[in-house]
Amino acid sequence: MRRVIDISGDGTNNDGSSLEESRLRALQKAIVINGLPVGAEVENGETTAEYYERHVIGRPGSFIIPADSSAEFQWAIINKLIREVSSISGETRS
């Protein structure tokens, strides 16, 4: 059985438990983490997409689909779902 967590957002973790601890627990349970970063704002020298690549997604086959604006968000969600359900290969990051 494949287990996946999908995370979307417009910046860094700012509430709740530690991102690093939560991510590590999910990865230890072989859960794939995919991301849908929204916006291109730079935080700590990184864009939101770069932050997701470095700190959020994980496991082989994980990916991000950035939406640079709220207008692109619907397109990004549809494409993310199609990619996950049909197992379309493409750029993946682990």
Tens of pLDDT, residue by residue over 11-25, are: 777 787 888 999 999
Report the candidate in 63, 68, 59 with the shortest Cα–Cα distance to residue 82.
Answer: 63
Q: Could you give the C-alpha distances from 94 to 14, 15, 56, in angstroms and in order? A: 24, 25, 10
Q: Is the pLDDT of residue 29 over 90?
A: yes
Query: Within 10 A of 65 (CB to CB), how many other CB atoms are there?
Result: 22
Q: Is the pLDDT of residue 94 over 50?
A: no
- Distance, in Å, from the CA atom of 68 to the CA atom of 50, rounded to the nearest integer, reads 12
